[in-house]
């Protein structure tokens, strides 16, 4: 059992000092993930990787009745927390503009792993929710790669998949998401 998993179990058991010990162990990895994610954001962002890590960490530890099975589960939850934070920011900005600033999206130009714009991020979020109901492993792979910025080998390792399977799932999920995003956008 890894140190991270032991500390997560201690936090579950109510040991207050365990949360203080967990942050130094996971901070560098979370900071790296947030920095990769923030590189993909548009220039001029006010949210910095450090702030994203801190907000995601506070959300993770602030959840009532949260139980993490292992470090994979924790980092998946961290990726999801970062995704939700960025989606909330994108929704907030979209509300500020008249009409949400929707744009036509050409399926040939969609690359889920590339820089996303805030408008597209909302479509990706909605499509990812649908994919999670259909294929949770592919949805988690997309979340780890797209929102946490993990490489294919790192995401495969966390998910317990071979790199080849992760690569196939990545190709399938990207194509599925592209089609779903176009469908969502057309319905609005």
Residue spans of the domains in the chain: they are: 3-186
Give the Cα separation of 13 and 34 in Å (integer): 28
Helix (H, G, I), strand (E, B) or coil at 104: coil
Mean pLDDT of 79-108: 66
Could you tell me the pLDDT band of residue 107, with boundaries at 50, 70 and 90?
Answer: very low
Give the Cα separation of 97 and 53 in Å (integer): 27
**pLDDT value at residue 133:** 94
Could you tell me the pLDDT band of residue 130, with boundaries at 50, 70 and 90?
Answer: very high
Nearest C-alpha neighbor of 95 from the set 122, 58, 65, 133 = 122
Could you tell me the pLDDT band of residue 44, with boundaries at 50, 70 and 90?
Answer: low
Give the Cα separation of 31 and 14 in Å (integer): 26
Q: Does 144 have pLDDT greater than 80?
A: yes
Range from 79-93, 99-113, 139-153, 156-170 carrying the lowest mean pLDDT: 99-113
Could you tell me the pLDDT band of residue 168, with boundaries at 50, 70 and 90?
Answer: very high
Range from 26-35, 89-98, 121-130, 157-166 carrying the lowest mean pLDDT: 89-98
In three-state form (DSSP H/G/I as H, E/B as E, the rest C), the secondary structure along 128-177 is: HHHHHHHCHHHHHHHHHHHHCCCCHHHHHHHHCCCHHHHHHHHHHHHHHH
**pLDDT value at residue 39:** 67
């Amino acid at each position: 059992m890894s140190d991270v998993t032991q500390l997560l179990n201690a936090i579950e058991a109510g040991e207050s000092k365990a949360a203080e010990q967990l942050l130094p162990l996971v901070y560098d990895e979370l900071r790296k993930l947030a920095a990769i994610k923030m590189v993909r954001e548009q220039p001029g962002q006010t949210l910095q990787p450090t702030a994203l890590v801190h907000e995601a960490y506070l959300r993770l530890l602030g959840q009532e009745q949260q139980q993490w099975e292992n470090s994979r589960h924790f980092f998946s939850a961290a990726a999801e927390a970062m995704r939700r934070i960025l989606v909330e920011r994108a929704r907030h900005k979209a509300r500020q503009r008249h009409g949400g600033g929707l744009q036509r999206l050409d399926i040939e130009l969609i690359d889920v792993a590339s820089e996303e714009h805030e408008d597209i991020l909302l479509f990706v979020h909605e499509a990812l929710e649908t994919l999670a109901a259909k294929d949770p492993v592919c949805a988690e792979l997309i979340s780890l790669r797209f929102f946490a910025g993990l490489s294919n080998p790192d995401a495969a390792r966390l998910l317990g998949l071979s790199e080849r399977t992760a690569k196939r799932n990545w190709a399938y999920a990207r194509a599925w998401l592209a089609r779903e995003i176009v469908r969502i956008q057309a319905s609005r």
